[in-house]
Structure formats: C-alpha cells, structure tokens
Amino acid sequence: MSSSAVHRFGGGEPLLEIKDLGVSFATDHGDVDAVRGVSLFVDPGEILAIVGESGSGKTVTARSVLGLLPETATESGAVVLNGRDVVQMSATQLRRVRGADVAMIFQEPSSALNPVYPVWWQLGEGLRAHNPKLSTKQLKERAVEALREVGIPDPQNRINRYPHEFSGGQKQRIMIAMALALGTKLIVADEPTTALDVTVQAEILQLLRDVRDRFGTSIILITHNMGVVADLADSVAVMHDGVIVERKFAKELFAHPEDDYTKKLLGAVPRVGAHSASAGLSDAARQELAGHEAIVEARGLEVTYPGRLGTPPFRAVRGIDFTIRAGEVFGLVGESGSGKTTTGRAIVGLEEVTGGSLKVFGYEMRHLRERTFKPLRKDIGFVFQDPATSFDPQLTIGQCIAEPLEVHEPRSSAADRRRRVRDLLSAVQLPVDYANRFPHELSGGQRQRVSLARALVMRPKLLIADEPTSALDVSVQATVLELFRQLQAEFGFACLFISHDLAVIDMLAHRIGVLYHGELVEVGDGAQVLGNPQHPYTKRLLASLPVPDPVEQAVRREEFRRVDEELAGRD
C-alpha cells in the first residue's frame, strides 16, 4: 500500500477505524478469503471512496462496519466506530448502532424498499425502532421533513405514495433520507449511482456532497466508477483481491497513481473523443455506409400509451425521424423516460406504433400483424439491459444461446446447434465448457457476453442493444464494448445502441441521436453532436458525464449547473 496512507483528512480521533480486518466465507469448497488485512480510517466530515471491481472485497468491507455479514462469514481484526468495536457487538447492540451511528444506502433502491408500504411508513420504521413512543402524526411530520431535505417535490402528499410511484433517482433520494432520519454521522453508500442516468447520477452526487456540507456527515462511497470518485471523494482506497493496494487523497491519486491496478481502472474509463467510432471512418467509408440499404426508417414516429383511470394518454415518442442503414451503428442517447427503450421495442414489435411510419426491412410496423412479421424476427437480435433477468435460470448457458435456433430453425440437428453455440462462445471470448454452466454461475460481464452470443446466434441483420453495459464494472464494460466493436465488424449487422452514456455511444456509434422528452433534438456524427452540441440538453448530458480528473470534474460541475438552468428556462 502507498506510503501516503498515513495522511489524514482531519485532526483528532477518527470517526471510524478499521484495523487489520479479515473476512472469510465458508463454502462447500472450503473457506474463501474475501478481505485480507484491511486497515482504514474515516475522519469526521470525510468522503472516502473504496474503489475496485466486483469481487475485490469493497462491499464486504463496508458491510462489516454495520455488522451485516452473513452467518457463513468469519471476521478477525477490529472495526472501531465511535470508540466501540462493531465486530465484538451483540445483535442487540448492533441494532442500536444501525441508523443512529451508521446507516447504509444500498445499491438497488427498488429491492431495498418494501413495495407494499407507503414511503412514510418505511421512513418511520427506523425511527420507531429507536423511539417506539413516536406517534403516527410525528412519524409523518419527520418523513415530510426528510423528503424535503433530499429534494423530493411536494413531500406532504408524496409520503403517502408507494416506491413504484417514484423514479429511480427519487428512490435513491428516499434511501438517503432514510439514512439521515436518525442523524447518523456515517453513511455507507454502496454503488449509489450504478445504472442511473448520468444526469440523475450528477444530481445524487451533488446531494451527497450537500449532506456532508450541511450535516458534517462522513461518507464511505463504494464504487467501481473512477469518474464518480473524482467528482465526490476527498480520499481514495483502491481494493484488489481483498487487499488495499493504494490509499491517497483523491487529487494526488489521480495525478500520480502508483499501483498498476489503479492505472488499469483509470485507463478503462471511457472518455468522449478518445476512441470515437465516427472519427475513425474515412470519407469513403462514410459514403459507402450512406449508400447502404435502409434497415430501419422512421418518419414522424409516434408511440402513445392510453390513459387509465381518468389519466390522459402519454406520448412517449413524439414524431421522430431517423434511418439505420445496413452495417451502421446508430446510437440513441437520453435519460430514463426520454423514449429510447420505447423506440427500440417498437422496432421489434413489442410496442404499438400509434402515429407516423416505422419500416423495418421494408415492413410497415404500424398496424403490425404478427403472422406476417414473424418470419422477419429471425433477422433481429435483442441484447437486454439486465441479462440476469432475461435468462431462464433453469436452462444451461448452451440451452439459452440455442433457444432461438430451436424456435426459428426447428429442423436443425442437435449437433449443428451445439457447434453454433461453441462458435459463438469462442466469438465472445468465453470458454466452450461454459455451455454447461447455469446463468447464476457467471459474473455480470460474462452473462452480458452470453447475451450478445444469444442475440447473434441467428446471424441477424439488425441488433437492438438496450443499455447493455450500464451496470458493469468500468474495466468489464471496456472489455464488453471492445468485444462489441469486433463482433460488429465481423458480422456486419446494423445496430440501434441505446444508452444514457455519451462516452459509450461515442465509442461505438457511426451516428448519434439525442432524445429528450420523446423528441429527437439532435442527430449527426460524433464530431457534430458531441464536439459541437447545439441543444442545451446535449450540453447537459456532456457536462454530467464524470471524468477521472478531480480538477476537470469541478469545472464540469459548474457547467452542469449553468446548462441545467438554461434548459429549465427553455422548458
């Protein structure tokens, strides 16, 4: 570990000190050491980022602060919080500490919030645990105050709503409000911005910064995103294989990384303009692409959802025009709710086209008849955002990949299907024997590669990729994106690549479209859209994209505030 690990953010006694922590898990194949000899400290008011890939031990280290490890875990060392060792506490003592001394913001708020209780009840649950005498009226008053603190609009009415009635960013704000409800001095935030839109991510990071500044709260930020670290952290601990390999102040670490693993993480962060797909095209290649057959043609495309129970209809896509030609990657970027996934689903016939025209392989999708469109489905592949939920857990990887063959080529032999599966596993750089594994036995990045293989098994002419890398570690994301580029060059399929990350889109797309509230506000190549953006929303997306440089990130935060105000005035 770097010698700079002895540097302190503040003076006096640290709020938290982890001393030589070791955590091992009992498994059927013997004990697995997840954390080995970790020593860390967090000072009052400090934001410490623990960064590393999945499996590095960062979440296990963070959960040990709250005593949230499973029964299969064995701990050694000490976790001293406010002068008391959490490792030695009983279950009763831990319940008193949680919420009051330390609170946790979990990675996925949708799974952390109870879907059958209103928000006020869930906010009040922790308050009741520490003070059973509080009345319902008092709990609701505290809930209103907590939601107001984290910027939820109309808190008096929204405390009575349920989690599904809030957006992803709002649910994360509710989790932060729950963490603050008891006046905790230490928050453990486990990947609090993973899979959020870059603009929502910027808002959540600003909220965490405000929480520290207003309440003096210390924060342990668990993340794999070095751009997020540059935006928020005061100091950084880099974990790899259960060990702290480097600990420095944030500015020092980004300016002078020492460990090779730290350099690898920094190098894996995608940056706009660094590896632009459109910039790599010659004029001849651009002209050749422009002359290719149109695979998808949208003219005035509209998708409107009917109103229910007295609510008016909702126009998700509002009269957009675009074309995707054979061999072309068209990047569609925008926040959640902008209409990009709806557009992708309309192309494959999963959403009804309610206005304008949408032609796929020359077939008009408006007034779609499944019987006549079905023969074309074999020419379309779909890569879903979360492969874990798109695979049948009872099928092996080989069976998942071969399933489209069984549907569209039922006369193909079992030997031919096995050969196609082996070839595709090799193409996505996975061992052939992975065909016998089940989805839960693979990592997130490996499952996403399998998802690519399944989408390509019919050798489609068109691929729809819906946020396929949003929840992956930054280094795994870089690997998957490079693999995607290679496969697109090899198979030559046209692609609609949907993302909220402009840097990812820039790496892959020959042309880019920016969706905002269902409208296509900019279209062009990377140099036009990203190098010289015209619409305030595109500027806002660019400003909200975190970069691995604390100095530059501070400038971008100011730019984000400026264009946010410009966009609000325009709306």
Q: What is the pLDDT of residues 315-357, one digit of tens each?
A: 999 999 999 999 999 999 998 888 999 999 999 999 999 999 9
Torsions phi, psi of 150, nearest 5? -100, 10
pLDDT band at 571, cuts 50/70/90? low
CB 120 within 8 A of CB 104: no
pLDDT band at 2, cuts 50/70/90? very low
* pLDDT recorded at residue 198: 81
CB 194 within 8 A of CB 498: no
* pLDDT recorded at residue 78: 96
Torsions phi, psi of 188, nearest 5? -100, 115
Q: What is the pLDDT of residues 24-63, one digit of tens each?
A: 999 777 888 999 999 999 999 999 999 998 888 998 999 9
Q: Which CATH class is domain 283-546?
A: alpha beta
Q: What is the pLDDT of residues 79-136, one digit of tens each?
A: 999 999 999 999 999 999 999 999 999 877 888 899 999 999 999 998 998 899 999 9
pLDDT band at 7, cuts 50/70/90? low
Torsions phi, psi of 132, nearest 5? -65, -15
* pLDDT recorded at residue 195: 66
Q: What is the DSSP string of 216-260?
A: --EEEEEES-HHHHHHH-SEEEEEETTEEEEEEEHHHHHHS--SH
Q: How would you write 549-570 as a 3-class SS string?
A: CHHHHHHHHHHHHHHHHHHHHH
Q: Which amino acid is at 372?
A: T
The two counts, helices (H) then strands (E), for the chain are 23, 20
* Residue 296 burial by Cβ neighbours in a 10 Å radius (0-12, 13-18, 19+): buried
CA angle 187, 192, 198 (to 5 degrees): 140
* Residue 436 burial by Cβ neighbours in a 10 Å radius (0-12, 13-18, 19+): exposed
Helix, strand, coil shares of the chain, percent, nearest 5, are 45, 25, 35
What residue spans define the domains of the chain? 283-546
Q: Helix, strand or coil for residue 43?
A: coil
Q: What is the mean pLDDT of the chain?
A: 90
Cα gap 40→34, rounded to integer Å = 16
**Pairing, β 235-240 against β 47-51:** parallel
Cα gap 80→470, rounded to integer Å = 35
Cα gap 42→184, rounded to integer Å = 14
For the whole model, what pTM was predicted?
Answer: 0.81
Cα gap 383→391, rounded to integer Å = 11
